Amino acid sequence: MPATADHENVARAFLAARAKKTPLTLYPGAMPQTMADAYAIQDRAIALDGRRVGGWKVGRIAPDLVDRYGGNRLTGPIFVDEIHDGSAQPAMPVYADGFAAAEAEILLCFGEVGTRDYDIDSVRDCIVDVRTGIEIASSPFPEINRHGPAVTASDYGNNKGLVLGPSIVGWQDADLIRMPVEMAIDGETVGAATMEAMLDGPFGSALFLIEILRARDIAIPPGTLVSAGAITGIHEVRPGQRAEALFDGKIRVGCSITSY
């Protein structure tokens, strides 16, 4: 969908708020009512931003909203300069007066995707690595998640960065769906779950991403990451806190939360 003047104005307002680190007390324009409108805003913002996209976050659309929005997932860009090595215990900045959260996620890395058609089984053929990680969700609009998935998607899908944890050795044969995952904030466990409740799991997120990016005429170069969705929930954080995810009882990924 080509961007309209309204889409352009919303995109520019979010870019300005992110650049100036100032909160948006109101949504900067007419709230998008469809995913097509949301992605028109997002695509225009990506073009105006100019940074290179290194990956994409995928989030779930609530079951009661699937029919209205025509799908069960949404996506947003993760820029290369906001992807950090978890072994360095990175400090991840968020919008202190906006919305901020940390999410334990499985990260998939694409190899050559090409033009072939995929299904939930064959999509594994174009995945070259599976890693652990934490997605940092943050937006200058504090109510980003309170007005439906189109609003969430319109501001980069509410993404503000990615912490790369270790790869999962032998992921091809691992039972990823049943892998236990825990999330802690300041050492206190705030969520524990497996991926059994995540629709069709992380590979379903990869399949969704291929289909939605092709529909938007966006290339998927080798090395593109997929942050496949929150496993233990969306855990709100604030500057000064520390987030740590534990995968399979042995793989730890952590970061500190800071403000600008």
User: Per-residue pLDDT tens for 120-133?
Assistant: 999 999 999 999 99
Report residue 14: phi and psi, to 5°: -65, -40
Checking if the pLDDT of 13 tops 80, the result is yes
pLDDT confidence band for 2 (50 / 70 / 90): confident
Contacts (Cβ under 8 Å, ≥6 apart) of 217: none
Residue type, 24: L
Looking at the structure of the chain, the number of domains it has is: 1
Burial annotation 65-90 (CB, 10 A radius, 16+ → b, else e): eeeebeebbbbbbbbeebbbebeeeb
Quick one: pLDDT at residue 135? Answer: 98
Checking if the pLDDT of 1 tops 80, the result is no
H-helix or E-strand spanning residue 18: helix 5-20
pLDDT in tens, 132-154: 999 999 999 999 999 999 999 99
CB atoms within 10 A of CB 47: 10
For residue 106, the enclosing domain spans: 5-259
pLDDT in tens, 66-79: 999 999 999 999 99
State the average pLDDT over residues 11-28: 97
Average model confidence (pLDDT) for the chain?
A: 97
Distance of CA 257 to the CA centre of its chain: 17
Task: Look up the CATH number of the domain holding residue 94.
Answer: 3.90.850.10
pLDDT in tens, 154-197: 999 999 999 999 999 999 999 999 999 999 999 999 999 999 98
Checking if the pLDDT of 3 tops 90, the result is no
Quick one: pLDDT at residue 197? Answer: 85
Mapped onto helix, strand or coil, the DSSP state of residue 48 is: helix
d(CA 139, CA 21) in angstroms, rounded, equals 10
Residues in the chain: 260
Checking if the pLDDT of 21 tops 80, the result is yes
Determine the number of helices (DSSP H) and then strands (DSSP E) in the chain. Answer: 5, 13
CB atoms within 10 A of CB 128: 12
Residue type, 171: W
pLDDT in tens, 76-96: 999 999 999 999 999 999 999
Report residue 87: phi and psi, to 5°: -65, -20
Checking if the pLDDT of 63 tops 90, the result is yes
d(CA 186, CA 190) in angstroms, rounded, equals 10
